[in-house]
Structure 1
Amino acid sequence: MAREDIEFTAQGTTLHGWFYPAEGATGEAPCVVLQHGFSGVKEMYLDSYAELFQAAGLACLVYDHPGFGASDAVPGCPRLEIDPWQQVRFVQHAITYAQSRPEVDAERIGLWGSSYAGGHALVVAGIDRRVKAVVSQVPPVSGSMAFKELIRIDRWAEMDAVFAAERRARLAGAEPSMLPVVTTDPAGAAALPTPDAYEWCTTTAQQRAPEWRNEVTLLSMEFLRGYEPGRWAPLIAPTPLLMIVAPLDRLADGQLATQVYEEALHPKKLVLIPGGHFDAYHGPGFECSAPPARDWFVEHLLDKRV
């Protein structure tokens, strides 16, 4: 089935995305809201997940976070700044928009997030009871631990000074300092300084998302350090939670994610997939990650009314 280009406005900001009507639906259908991680944009394989869910009878709403891809930035905020709590609020706005559509059953909303947005999925499911089923894929569950893993230990004190100086400069009216998302330089500064991140981001951007930008604001990393989405996992129940984790993930620690899963309450399910952080999006990894997510939403949104 065809998808529809959509836009919706919240907090004075217009977000752009796609709406996929549920295949075979004769009335209101459940809807899954999908969002990407970190600096990712919707063209980076979110359509693959939405098409699979759509074919199972689920409507889907896919969109770009504020200031990324086709979406506008929040007034007063720069583009390419990753503020996780701002993104969490806009997940909730996206749910509201999905509920407003006549094709959607407002009482059957699912939430899917991958990577950084896998963390957002945990938070939103823990605070917003409109979510009736949630899938969190390869989430970084602790920003403080991720920061320590991504930034060399001998630079931690230096980064404190850099963040403080950046805040002073921006208060004085300076343009935000930018940081590459990925780099080929082993000693270079980047938000995601791993070889698999560089390979996936640049290859995927070249093939599918030419408007993706290899930069984020410097303060995005300070915001990451203070973000602890795993702490919300125990608050998700009784909403059904599926976590899809790669134990060998070396960007968003897969073993730490499984520990967070153990802290969540039932109903819940854990699916372990092979490969690293980026292998879930295509090829054999997609065949391991996407069907379990589809089946989770079918079981909890389509097979029964809630």
Structure 2
Amino acid sequence: MTPPAIEAIELVKEFGDNRAVDGVSFTVPQGAVLGLLGPNGAGKTTTVRMMTTLSEPTSGTARVAGYDVRTQPDMVRRNMGLTGQAATVDELLTGRENIRMIGGLYGIGRKDLKSLGDRLLEQFDLVAAGDRPVRSYSGGMRRRLDLAVSLIAAPPVLFLDEPTTGLDPRSRSDLWEVLRELVAGGTTLLLTTQYLEEADQLADEIVVIDHGRIIAEGTPLQLKEQAGNASLVVTVSHAADLPTARDLVARSGTEVHVDVGARQLTAAADGIDDLTRVANWLRDSGIKIDDIGLSRPSLDDVFLSLTGHRAETAEEAQA
């Protein structure tokens, strides 16, 4: 059996009387992506700081690439990269100079650094901006450079703490593509995020943390299933057909919600069989429809059911 790339083992962190992280445990297989979700102040960043040797656990421990954060911190740092919430690159230097500076701190030779810098700038679509001062970069470009710098030593494990906070949708999507390429190359990722779409797009497994404790974990699909069944949504072409359509949908044995303004019917459904059955009933009755489909619970629905508020509330609180 291949050992996990990342392990958290009963991690606890106390600040005076406040227990910010309370017995967090999870594992991440090699080459996988774990999304660590939770509202602002849930303990996500504190957990990452302990796992990356930036903060000493009060109790418990963690292993990164097989090395213990308490007894082998130097080996942990050699086998991981970290991109924090704020960009750490020097704004007065160019992108290429930032890579050379950090590479020099790792002891990489000048000749190797040149080829490494060229490769990273190309990988992160920064070749055209490589010789410009970072202060002239957009937010998305700075985050890409920050990520490039964290990969200088080619670590097998990468921690990303809110990697796309503050980015516009296009920049966020571009960064997701870069992260997918890294995972395809064998890198293991742990990312904290409040963007549920981000976790849905990238994570193989999700751990939801609140008040320092894990309150749910599983694949995105498993967590969505916990939030409830899928819904069958039917939009009829003519509002006058709503009563008849409602009676037909109700034959499936579920309560039907009618939105007259939207000419829409919504009812709980088990899956594609219910959709097919209702579609046939509507067709046989001669009722014209504009649309019919299944709407599954989103990760935002999961977040709401677990924490009592939607993720946007947490994001707004952080802003």
With structure 1 as the length reference, what TM-score do the two structures score? 0.26
Greater strand fraction, Structure 1 or Structure 2: 2
